[in-house]
Amino acid sequence: MTNRLDTQKIVQALQSVLPQGTPISLHEPSFQGNEWAYVKECLDTGWVSSVGKFVDRFESQLAEYTGAKRAVAVVNGTAALHMGLLLVGVKPGDEVIVPALTFVATPNAVTYCGAIPHFADSEERTLGLDPARLGTYLGEVGDLRAEGCFNRRTGRRIKAVIPMHTFGHPVDMDPLMTLCERFKLDVVEDAAESLGSFYKGKHTGNHGRLAALSFNGNKTITTGGGGAILTNDEELGMLAKHLTTTARVQHQWSFVHDRVGYNYRLPNINAALGCAQMEQLPLFLEQKRAMAERYQEAFDDLHGIRFFTEPGSSRSNYWLNALVLDTRHRDSRDELLELTNRLGITTRPAWTLMHRLPMFSTCPRMDLTVAEDLEQRLINIPSSACLGAPHATA
The three-state secondary structure class of 149 is: strand
pLDDT of 391 reads 64
Could you report the per-residue pLDDT of 87-106, keeping only the tens digit for each?
Answer: 999 999 999 999 999 999 99
Q: Which residues of 10-28 are buried (b: 16+ CB within 10 A; e: fewer)?
A: beebbbebbeeeeebebbb
Band of the pLDDT at 2, cuts 50, 70, 90? low
Average pLDDT over residues 157-183: 98
pLDDT of 252 reads 84
pLDDT of 1 above 60: no
**Residue pair 194/202 in contact by the 8 Å Cβ criterion:** no
Mean pLDDT of the chain: 96
**Residue pair 166/98 in contact by the 8 Å Cβ criterion:** no
DSSP-assigned letters across all residues of 248-299: BPP-SS---B-S---B-BPPHHHHHHHHHHHHHHHHHHHHHHHHHHHHHHHH
Average pLDDT over residues 166-183: 98
In DSSP terms, 129 is beta-bridged to 122
pLDDT of 22 above 80: yes
pLDDT of 105 reads 98
d(CA 68, CA 87): 17
Residues 6+ apart with CB under 8 A from 54: 38, 42, 47, 268, 269, 271, 272, 274, 275
DSSP H or E run through 392: none
Residue spans per domain, the chain: 7-30+281-388, 35-278
Average pLDDT over residues 216-240: 97
Query: Cβ-count burial of 273 within 10 angstroms (0-12 exposed, 13-18 middle, 19+ buried)?
Result: buried
Average pLDDT over residues 28-33: 96
Average pLDDT over residues 246-260: 90
Q: CA 185 → CA 104, 111, 132, 194, distances in Å?
A: 22, 18, 16, 22
Query: Cβ-count burial of 277 within 10 angstroms (0-12 exposed, 13-18 middle, 19+ buried)?
Result: buried
Band of the pLDDT at 253, cuts 50, 70, 90? confident
The architecture in CATH of the region 7-30+281-388 reads Alpha-Beta Complex (3.90)
Task: For domain 35-278, give the fold.
Answer: Aspartate Aminotransferase; domain 2 (3.40.640)
pLDDT of 326 above 70: yes
**Residue pair 205/193 in contact by the 8 Å Cβ criterion:** no
Could you report the per-residue pLDDT of 274-298, keeping only the tens digit for each?
Answer: 999 999 999 999 999 999 999 999 9
Q: CA 368 → CA 100, 116, 311, distances in Å?
A: 8, 17, 21
Band of the pLDDT at 246, cuts 50, 70, 90? very high
Helices and strands: H and E segment counts in the chain: 11, 16
d(CA 148, CA 180): 11
What are the φ/ψ torsions at residue 364 (nearest 5 degrees)?
Answer: -65, 150
**For residue 150, what is the DSSP state?**
E
What are the φ/ψ torsions at residue 205 (nearest 5 degrees)?
Answer: 95, -5
Average pLDDT over residues 206-213: 98
pTM reported for the whole predicted model: 0.96
Which ranges constitute the DSSP H helices of the chain? 7-17, 35-45, 53-66, 77-87, 105-112, 131-141, 173-182, 234-244, 268-299, 333-342, 369-375
Q: Find the largest Cα–Cα distance for the chain.
A: 79
